[in-house]
Amino acid sequence: MTTIESRPSAPPLHERGTPGYRRVGAALWCAGLATFVLVYSVQGLLPTLATEFGVSSSASSLVLSATTGTLALAIVPLSAIAESWGRVRVMTAALALSAVLGLLAPLAPSFGALVAIRALQGVALAALPALAMAHMTREVAPRCLGGAMGLLIAGNTLGGLSGRLIAGVVADLGGWRVALAVVGAVSLAATVAFRLLLPPSVAPAAPRVRLRDLGGPLRVQLRDPGLRCLFGIAFLLMGAFVTVYNYLGFRLIAPPFSLPPALVGLVFLGYLAGSYASTAAGRLGDRVGRRRVLWAAVLVALAGAWITVPDALPAALVGLLLVTVGFFGAHSLASSWVGRRSSSLPGGAPAVASSLYLLAYYAGSSVGGSVGGLAYDGAGWLGLVGYVSALLLGAGALALALRRIPAA
How many other CB atoms are found less than 10 A from the CB of residue 245? 23
Long-range contacts of 274-277 (CB under 8 A, 24+ apart): 274/157, 274/324, 274/325, 274/327, 274/328, 275/154, 275/157, 275/328, 276/325, 277/324, 277/325, 277/326, 277/328, 277/329, 277/332
Select the highest-mean-pLDDT range: 103-112, 198-207, 334-343: 103-112
Return mean pLDDT, the chain. Answer: 86
The most confident of 160-174, 225-239, 333-347, by mean pLDDT: 225-239
**Predicted pLDDT of residue 337:** 81
**CA dist 365 to 68, 163, 332, 372, Å?**
6, 17, 16, 10
Angle at 298 between CA 293 and CA 299, to 5 degrees: 95
- Grade residue 209 by pLDDT with cuts at 50, 70 and 90: low
Per cent of the chain over pLDDT 90 is 50
How high is the pLDDT of residue 318?
96
DSSP calls for 134-182: HHHHHHB-GGGHHHHHHHHHHHHHHHHHHHHHHHHHHHHHH-HHHHHHH
In this prediction, residues 371-380 reach a mean pLDDT of: 94
Element (H, E) at 238: helix 225-253
Q: What is the pLDDT, as a whole number, of residue 151? A: 65
For the chain, what are the domain ranges? 14-201, 210-408
Could you tell me if residue 15 is left (phi over 0), alpha (psi between -120 and 50 degrees) or otherwise beta? Answer: beta
Q: Which of 67, 261, 69, 71 is nearest to 176 (CA)?
A: 261
Residue 206 has pLDDT above 80, yes or no: no
pLDDT at 242: 94
Higher pLDDT, 218 or 105: 105
| Coil, strand or helix at 208 | coil
Sort residue 204 into left (φ over 0), alpha (ψ -120 to 50) or beta: beta
Q: Tell me what pLDDT residue 12 has.
A: 75
CA distances from 153 to 39, 131, 393 (A): 15, 13, 28
Fold (CATH) for 14-201: Growth Hormone; Chain: A; (1.20.1250)
CA geometry: angle at 32 spanning 116 and 34, to 5°?
Answer: 50
- Is 227's pLDDT higher than 80? yes
* Percent of the chain residues topping a pLDDT of 70: 89
Condensed to tens digits (0 to 9), the pLDDT of residues 314-342 reads 999 999 999 999 998 888 888 878 877 88
The SS3 call for residue 258 is: coil
Question: What span, in angstroms and rounded, lies between the C-alpha atoms of 67 and 235?
Answer: 16
- Assigned CATH for 210-408: 1.20.1250.20
Domains 14-201 and 210-408 share a fold: yes
Whether the CB-CB separation of 365 and 40 falls below 8 Å is answered with no
Question: 130 and 79 in contact (C-beta within 8 Å)?
Answer: yes
